[in-house]
Amino acid sequence: MNICLQPLRIPTGWHVDYNNGLWEIDPVAELIPIEDRWWLFKQDMLQMIQPRFNRMLDLGWYPEGDLFEGHYRLVLYEGDFKGRLLHQFTTRDRQTLVVEIERLLTAVCSREL
């Protein structure tokens, strides 16, 4: 499968810790072979840090590889996973997820979160 990474509008100051794959593909089981589901839809997809505002954004798919019961889970923490959870969002829709990621990135830089 030849799949590209999902483009994102990222405001200045965010650092990508890792981007293991938020792909331009929707979680539709009929379109994705079983052997590809585990690397396309996994827990460790994207993690970004905004050091100036001490924020961490993390994205994963839970449960990993399960296109029937799974969903994207997006979280925003103050600091890291040990810090205060500021926002949590779940969806199965990739476009809705992209809108929410970009909204959070901008909100942090605008000091709203």
| Domains in the chain, number | 1
User: Whole-prediction pTM value?
Assistant: 0.94
Question: What would the pLDDT profile of 20-65 be if each residue is shown by its tens digit?
Answer: 889 999 999 999 999 999 999 999 999 999 999 999 999 999 999 9
Domain assignment present for residue 1? The answer is no
pLDDT given for residue 2 in this prediction: 82
pLDDT at position 1 is 67
Question: With the C-alpha atoms ordered 83, 90, 35, 18, is the resulting torsion angle positive or negative?
Answer: negative
Domain of residue 40 covers 15-109
Q: Is residue 9 part of a domain?
A: no
Q: Which H or E run contains 87? A: strand 85-91
User: Does some domain include residue 2?
Assistant: no
> How many Å apart are CA 30 and CA 67, to the nearest integer?
9
Tokens of 102: 């970009």
Q: Are 8 and 2 in contact (CB under 8 A)?
A: no
